[in-house]
Amino acid sequence: MDYDVLILGGGIIGCAVAYELSKYSLNIALIEKDYDIADDVALINSAVVYDGSECDDTLMAKLEMIGNEMFDELSERLKVPFKRQGSLIVAEDEVSEEKVNEIYKRGIELGVKNIRILDKNQVYELEPNLNLKVLKAVYSPNTGVVCPYDLALAYGEIAFDNGVNFRLEEEVLDIQKITKGFRVITNKNKFTCKMVINTTPGQNYSIDSTEKSYKDKRNLSFFLLEKDCRFNYNNTIFTIKDSAENVRIIPTVPGNIILALNTEEPVGYENTLKEFNSFLGQIDENKINAFYQWPYYKDTIIIDESLIDKGYIKVIGKHYGQVTMTPSIGKMVCETIISNINCKLKKDFIDKRREVYNFRELSNEDRNQLIKVNKKYGNIICVCQNITEGEIIDAIRRPLGARTVEGIKRRTGATFGNCKGAHCFNKIVSILGRETNKRPTEIVNDLRNSNILKSRIKEFQK
Ligand SMILES: Cc1cc2nc3c(=O)[nH]c(=O)nc-3n(C[C@H](O)[C@H](O)[C@H](O)COP(=O)(O)OP(=O)(O)OC[C@H]3O[C@@H](n4cnc5c(N)ncnc54)[C@H](O)[C@@H]3O)c2cc1C
């Protein structure tokens, strides 16, 4: 057998499973079709860590609740930015007041700790800048925000350092049952293995009997506002109007604000702006750093173990709280695997992420020390975000290092400033080319064929 376990898909779930299984004496590989892991994790730098009370599906709510409780210890251990900042689910009219009462009742029945109903005055005490009509709200101190991409990277990097073989740019084409285990066919190889964990949503292979379609799909349109926008909130705020539209306001880990509009169909930039202008008062468009529209799912996540006797587990479904559930799903899948395969805990497992310098957060004294050791930390590449050449090189050279401009952006924060990369984009392409021994024309933004430079203007013969 080539491997004991093959994990298909390097999203946040695949990386979490790889991390949990890398604690055991197993020969593991993870296969991901893209250039980088966790490429699909929502790009914006904060995800809400829900506590289960907002969720009307009891199973999903429990997975959220268990995941939520794991976040303090996990984020501390993996050095992932996480902030427990609380949430308010606000009722603006009598219909939504009824819903707020239901959410509170459901939360109590589920066993969510310390949630309470607040009246209008108590809400304004917590959020003096809230420009909404408020009747009442459910308050939860448990809700948090995390950098989801960083969490996925941390899982992946530790798994990599503990021996998991990450096979990037390799697409799984089929999974076949063989006498003892499986044959996994990719566009590059054929592997045999004892067990398969399939986390590639929507993919159906010979072994699968059901076609999965995503039914509960809505749309999220969101603005990422600059830190110095005039809005200032302490909690994540949700409205639950009876109409098809809901609004959420999320103060992110680094201190920006996300304004998100949840609608049935994509509504575009202008309509999103109009909605928020009428809702919160005039937004200064110069303070909008980015606008995204993304499909938003509310399926039930199923950990399908119906073929576990044969050695196959499939994680099916897409859900808006999947980042929250990831620590619990990772552990559950791992427990099922280790109870079905002969393995032991490794004695030499290193539960630590390799550290990198974050120039922005260092004191001037530490910066000078660092520059004395390596001058590349004295060369600022992204002027808006103060990201140095040294950090970009670290992002390329660290375990599972960046191979795309998007990978650099997400690992370092470069290009996310006011100029949106106008100043540093080309410099990043050059550094990537130099460090990976490729021509600038070969460097891609993100996916295959997303090359940034088409060709040189002039070619000279030597
Ligand atoms: C707009 C938006 C906002 C969200 N906000 C939140 C939030 O606030 N809180 C929260 O908890 N969650 C949130 N989520 C949910 C969460 O980000 C996603 O559900 C989660 O990232 C999905 O992870 P995954 O690993 O299951 O799937 P994916 O990230 O889709 O990973 C699957 C991987 O498999 C790879 N793959 C697919 N097919 C193949 C193949 N044939 N061969 C090899 N590889 C393959 C893909 O390239 C991908 O990398 C949000 C999601 C969205 C879209």
pLDDT tens digits for range 363-398: 999 999 999 999 999 999 999 999 999 999 999 999
Q: Write down the residue that tokens 């109009």 correspond to.
A: 274
List CB contacts of 186: < 8 A, sequence separation 6 or more: 31, 167, 170, 171, 172, 173
Which of 32, 166, 222, 298 for mutating ligand 1's site (highest number of atoms within 8 Å of CB)?
Answer: 32
How large is the average pLDDT for residues 238-263?
A: 85
Protein residue with its CA nearest to atom 38 in ligand 1: 200
Query: What is the atom index within ligand 1 of the atom nearest the CA of 170?
Result: 43
Res. 203: pLDDT tops 80: no
Longest CA–CA span in the chain (Å) reads 78
One domain, residues 131 and 153: no
Question: Within a 10 A sphere around the Cβ of 294, how many other Cβ atoms?
Answer: 15
Question: What is the CA(41)–ligand 1 centre distance, in A?
Answer: 5
Q: Are strands 47-49 and 144-146 parallel, antiparallel or unpaired?
A: antiparallel
Residue-level pLDDT at 91: 93
Q: Kindly indicate the confidence band of residue 457, based on its pLDDT and cuts at 50, 70 and 90.
A: confident
Nearest CA to ligand 1 atom 24: 11
CB 390 within 8 A of CB 376: yes
| Residue that the structure tokens 């490429």 belong to | 39
Q: Note the pLDDT tens digit of each residue in 287-309.
A: 998 899 988 888 889 999 988 98
Closest CA to 432 of 418, 420, 446: 446
For residues 266 and 343, membership in a common domain is answered with no
| pLDDT over 70 (residue 214) | no
pLDDT above 90 for 44 = no
Judgement on whether residues 328 and 391 belong to the same structural domain of the protein: no
In-domain check, residue 246:
yes
Specify whether the CB–CB gap between 160 and 399 falls below 8 A: yes
pLDDT confidence of 353, banded at 50, 70, 90? Answer: very high
Ligand 1 centre from 152 Cα, in Å?
Answer: 10
Going by C-beta distance under 8 Å and a sequence separation of 6 or more, which residues neighbour residue 268? 221, 293
Q: Are residues 181 and 54 in the same domain?
A: yes
Q: Would the CA dihedral through 157, 450, 297, 295 be positive or negative?
A: positive
Q: Is 307 or 432 the better-scoring residue by pLDDT?
A: 432
Please determine, for residue 254, whether its predicted confidence score (pLDDT) is greater than 90: no
* pLDDT for 420 beyond 90: no
Mean pLDDT of the chain: 92
State the number of CA atoms in the 13 A half-sphere of 383 facing the CB. 6
- Ligand 1 centroid to 40 CA: how many Å? 5
| Residue 461 pLDDT | 67
* pLDDT higher than threshold 90 for residue 193: yes
Instruction: Answer positive or negative: Cα dihedral of 447, 395, 7, 201.
Output: negative
> β-pairing, 236-239 with 181-186?
unpaired
Choice between 197 and 129, residue whose per-residue pLDDT is larger: 197
Cβ–Cβ under 8 Å, residues 311 and 182: yes
57 C-alpha to ligand 1 centroid (Å): 20
Domain boundary among 355, 377, 394: 355
CA distance 158 to 348: 13
> What is the residue range of 365's domain?
359-442
48/9 same-domain check: yes
Q: Which mutation among 184, 322, 410 tests ligand 1's pocket best, with the greatest number of atoms within 8 A of CB?
A: 322
Question: Rounded to the nearest 5°, which phi and psi values hold at 237?
Answer: -120, 130
Is 68 or 300 the better-scoring residue by pLDDT?
68
The residue-averaged pLDDT of 225-230 equals 86
Does residue 78 belong to any structural domain of this protein? Answer: yes
Q: Are residues 188 and 329 in the same domain?
A: yes
Question: Would you say residue 422 lies in a domain?
Answer: yes
| SS3 per-residue string spanning 316-330 | ECCECCHHHHHHHHH
CB 401 within 8 A of CB 153: no
Query: How high is the pLDDT of residue 241?
Result: 74
CA dist 62 → 236, 318, 333, 395 (Å)? 20, 16, 16, 36
| Dist. CA 14 → ligand 1 center (Å) | 10
Check residue 202 and give its pLDDT: 74
Question: Is residue 351 a contact partner of residue 330, using CB atoms and an 8 Å limit?
Answer: no
Atom of ligand 1 nearest to the CA of 15: 25
Q: Point out the ligand 1 atom lying closest to the alpha carbon of residue 220.
A: 1
**In a shared domain, residues 74 and 105:** no
pLDDT at 61: 96
Check pLDDT > 80 for residue 57.
yes
Question: In this predicted structure, which of 113-127, 182-196, 270-284 has the lowest mean pLDDT?
Answer: 270-284
Within a domain: residue 448? no
Same domain for 327 and 235: no
For position 366, what pLDDT does the model report? 96
DSSP 298: B
Q: Separation of 303 CA from ligand 1 center, angstroms?
A: 15
Among 246, 241, 249, smallest CA distance to 263 is for: 246
Same domain, 46 and 130: no
CB 33 within 8 A of CB 202: no
| pLDDT higher than 90, residue 242 | no
User: What is the distance in A from the centroid of ligand 1 to the CA of 201?
Assistant: 8
What average pLDDT does range 229-250 have in this prediction?
Answer: 84
Last residue of a domain, one of 355, 382, 399: 355
Pairing of strands 82-84, 236-239: unpaired
Which tokens is 88 given?
A: 């308010």
67 CA closest ligand 1 atom index? 11
- Contact between 402 and 157 under an 8 Å Cβ cutoff? The reply is no
Q: Ligand 1: which of 293, 323, 404 to mutate, most ligand atoms within 8 Å of CB?
A: 323
Residue 337 has pLDDT above 70, yes or no: yes
pLDDT confidence of residue 212: 59
Are residues 273 and 179 part of one domain?
no
Specify whether 235 is located in the same domain as 371.
Answer: no
Is 112 part of a structural domain of the chain?
yes
pLDDT in tens, 86-125: 999 999 888 889 999 999 999 999 999 999 999 999 999 9
Of 250, 280, 297, which residue is a domain's last? Answer: 297
Going by C-beta distance under 8 Å and a sequence separation of 6 or more, which residues neighbour residue 375?
Answer: none
User: Does residue 461 form part of some domain?
Assistant: no
Residue in this structure with the two tokens 């593991």, named with its chain if needed: 28
Q: Are both 200 and 226 inside the same structural domain? A: no
Amino acid letter, 314: K
Q: Are 307 and 41 in contact (CB under 8 A)?
A: no
Q: How many domains does the chain have?
A: 3
Q: Which residue is closest in CA terms to ligand 1's atom 25? A: 11
Indicate which CATH number applies to the domain containing 405.
1.10.10.1100
* CA 54 to ligand 1 center in whole angstroms: 21
Mutation choice for ligand 1 from 64, 200, 219, 293, CB with most ligand atoms inside 8 A: 200
Q: Which of the listed residues 33, 188, 221 should we mutate to test ligand 1's pocket, taking the one with most ligand atoms within 8 A of CB?
A: 33
Closest C-alpha residue for ligand 1 atom 37: 200
CATH number at residue 67: 3.50.50.60
Q: Which ligand 1 atom is the nearest neighbour of the CA of 319?
A: 19
Measure CA of the first residue to CA of the last residue in the chain; give whole Å: 50
456 belongs to a structural domain: no
Q: Give the binding-site residues of ligand 1, using a 6 Å CB cut-off.
A: 8-14, 31-34, 39-42, 47-48, 148, 171-172, 199-201, 203, 220, 294, 296, 318, 320-324
State in Å: Cα 434 to ligand 1 middle: 31
CATH number of the domain that 285 lies in?
3.30.9.10
pLDDT for 210 equals 63
Between 123 and 217, the more confident residue is 123
CB 59 within 8 A of CB 72: no
**pLDDT average, residue stretch 270-276:** 93
- Residue 462 Cα to ligand 1 middle (Å): 48
The pLDDT confidence band at residue 184, using thresholds 50, 70 and 90, is very high
- Please check whether residue 3 is in contact with residue 29, taking contact to mean a CB–CB distance below 8 angstroms: yes
Output the CA angle 167-171-174, nearest 5 degrees: 115
CA of 150 to the centre of ligand 1 (A): 14
Any domain includes 166: yes
- In the reported structure, the alpha carbon of residue 451 is separated from the centroid of ligand 1 by a whole-number distance in angstroms of 24
Using the mean position of ligand 1's atoms as its centre, give its distance from the Cα of residue 83 in Å. Answer: 22
Is residue 244 pLDDT above 80, yes or no?
Answer: no
Contact criterion met (CB below 8 Å) for 124 and 270: no
Question: Which is it for the CA torsion 355, 84, 20, 212, positive or negative?
Answer: negative
- What average pLDDT does range 333-352 have in this prediction? 96
Q: Is residue 462 predicted with pLDDT exceeding 80?
A: no
Residues of the chain with pLDDT > 90: what percent?
74
Question: What share of the chain in percent tops pLDDT 70?
Answer: 97
